[in-house]
Amino acid sequence: MTNTYRDSGRAGLENAEEFVDMLEKRRCSSDLGHALRTYSPSPYEGALSCSTADLNKAVLESQYLRYVTKEIATETGSSVEDVKQEVCRILEEMSQNLQLGSIRLMAYTLTKVLKRLFTGIFVNMEGLNMLQQAIQESPVILMPNHRSYVDFLVISYILFTYDIPLPVIAAGIPLAGMKMVGEILRRSGAFFIRRAIGSDKLYWAVLSEYVKTIVRKGFAPLEFYVEGLRSRTLKSQLPKLGMMHMVLEPYFKGEVYDITLVPISISYDRVLEESLLAHELLGIPKPKESTTGLLKATKVLQEDYGNMHVNFGRPMSVRRLCQGKINRGQYNLIPRDLPQKPSAETQACVSGLANLMVRIQEEGSLISPWSLMACLLLQAPTTVLTQEGLLWHQLTEKTLWLRKLALDFGARLNWPGQVPDLDVMSSTVSLHRSVVHLKAGRVYLVQEEEPARKHPISPELDVIRAAAAVLMLASYRNQSLHIFVRPAMLATAIRVTKSARRDELFAFFCFLRDIFSNEFIFIPGKSSQDFEEACFLLNKCGAVDISQQEVIVSDARLEVLSFLQALLQPFIHSYQVMFRYLCEDGVNVFTEKQVLPAVRNLATKLILSGELHTYEALSSDTQKNILSALQRLETVTKLRESEQNEYRVNKAAVRRIGDILSGEISPQMLQTAPDAKL
């Protein structure tokens, strides 16, 4: 019988998604037979027969590229023929060469690998069935989140297994440089994009026309990561809008009737790169992608990574999503083939859709028991986790309490319903033995073993060792942050303002939303809705009582507010460390390369002195998010004349933000208009 279950986090709903373990059949049948079986997908009905060569020819002969080619030749003084040759070279480097034979080879290899890595890969069949139908009706854009290198081909593997047309996939150019592997990936549908395009007008034109031609012709479903790069914190990242503009433009210009967006949520019990990601956040460079490195990484096949869940979201019509939000008539004013800068209205529409896709990815993800346990472990002092150990029975009791709160907040939980709760939590800790271990009824944080040394390890290196373990733990907490972040912001507003007035709490909530807009995903223009959601959830769990004018704390559920406030503290403390550094004497103009190690050094000193307890302040991603937020708030400005990406800081403005965050400026001083700039 096929191994299916109903997601226990939604068990009370009538139409809860049904997930099927697609590896179960693979474990009891021939891997070669699966790879060589008859593959009969139903493609987009509006697509004309088009080979890879036909696609590339259509790109090269497009009026748009001809126009840009002549324009660049004029600007640079080059001949048109030289520019055309550069276009051909870029396209050759970039283009995919999807071939069924390579897909079969990849399917055979992946079956072997995935069976070794994962206990199960669970796929929601309802979402797959809707995708199969959507692909026949309009061009489809697949938009998975990006947490691991495994993401890259798992979608293609699933679609091949269920006879759904295979996608072409946007990939980073370093993968193309891997011997043999790069060509296999190209023939499996990958097209390769340079990471630093900058202001290369010709490259942008070729990439844009290539993507738009795929969409216009309905060549294949197109898959890309709207977040851009793989998330090193396992937390959703702000969407990158370049590719989003490209895939939507054929609809905006009336070249296709509709486009279908399919958000996909990939959830892992345990991520293969957990240690690598934590060390990257501490400034240790990522190993270069290479075939040799891939072969050396085969030791991961000896580990157990639990389950993977792939949740295909409901297909969404761009035509319906854009209704009333954009005037497509503006595209009729000039020929379609000419470059056209998107209007402010178009940019707002694209940004809103991209943020919406990431939010739907978050809502579709399944929260593991380990993510809830990580939330609680990180609220214990690091010295307790590294030296004394946290009592096991306290952790399990609190985890069951948090499970109920998460369900009240609408989380989708991956908590096996037929297994005793204690067994679920014990097996979870066992799966994550690289992060924590259980000994004599206490839970301890695992730190890397240091090689034998002639001299004792320095205090600074000891901090980095502990930080690596904490950041691994934090990455799993981050998987569930989207469930709690809005009520946590309201709980923080209640603590900092010491006010019960709705208008004052809303003002501080908007301030936090503005500050943390690079840290968490908020849909632009939805401040009021986010605040109302936070009020509703806190009221639903009994933590507050809501009236038209006030939000009154309930003494009976103070533990809810305490937990939520503590959940946000590492971010607040990390931001305060950056503010403190930027306000030091002598820090006026700086580069990003200078500021990141300097802030890490300051945080290390504060941790050693006992003044700071947040090891997450050492994370380079957090530091970059703070800098981006300060740039957006115009308290840090980029110097135009600088060739080294230098920035100038407005110390008074940074101090003011820090004072508001710590409650030293009263809430009456804040702007209360929704979405007003700080």
> Could you tell me the CA-to-CA distances from 341 to 256, 346, 442 in Å, in that order?
20, 10, 60
Q: Are 282 and 620 in contact (CB under 8 A)?
A: yes
Q: Give the model's pLDDT for residue 2.
A: 40
This prediction's pTM: 0.92
Distance CA 425, CA 440 (A): 16
From the number of C-beta atoms within 10 Å of its C-beta (0-12, 13-18, 19+), residue 290 rates as middle
Phi, psi of 135, deg, nearest 5: -65, -30
CATH class (in words) of the domain with range 49-274+307-364: alpha beta
Split at pLDDT 50, 70, 90, the class of 296 is low
Angle between helices 592-609 and 558-582 (to 10 degrees): 120
CA-wise closest residue to 399 among 377, 419, 432, 383: 377
Split at pLDDT 50, 70, 90, the class of 290 is low
Query: HSE-up of 672 (CA within 13 Å, CB side)?
Result: 10
Phi, psi of 132, deg, nearest 5: -60, -40
> Could you tell me the CA-to-CA distances from 532 to 28, 501, 520, 529, 545 in Å, in that order?
50, 14, 17, 5, 13
Q: Which residue has the higher pLDDT, 1 or 74?
A: 74
> Could you tell me the CA-to-CA distances from 376 to 213, 372, 399, 482 in Å, in that order?
49, 7, 7, 16
Q: What is the mean pLDDT of residues 599-608?
A: 95
pLDDT in tens, 172-182: 998 887 878 88
Q: Other C-beta atoms within 10 Å of 612: how many?
A: 20
Q: Tell me: pLDDT of 332 over 80.
A: no
Instruction: Give the domain ranges of the chain.
Output: 49-274+307-364
CA-wise closest residue to 313 among 130, 41, 120, 155: 130
Q: Is 154 helix (H, G, I), strand (E, B) or coil?
A: helix
Q: Are 118 and 266 in contact (CB under 8 A)?
A: no
Q: Which residues pair with residue 309 across a beta bridge?
A: 122, 267
Q: Is 168 helix (H, G, I), strand (E, B) or coil?
A: strand
pLDDT in tens, 518-551: 999 999 999 999 999 999 999 999 999 999 999 9
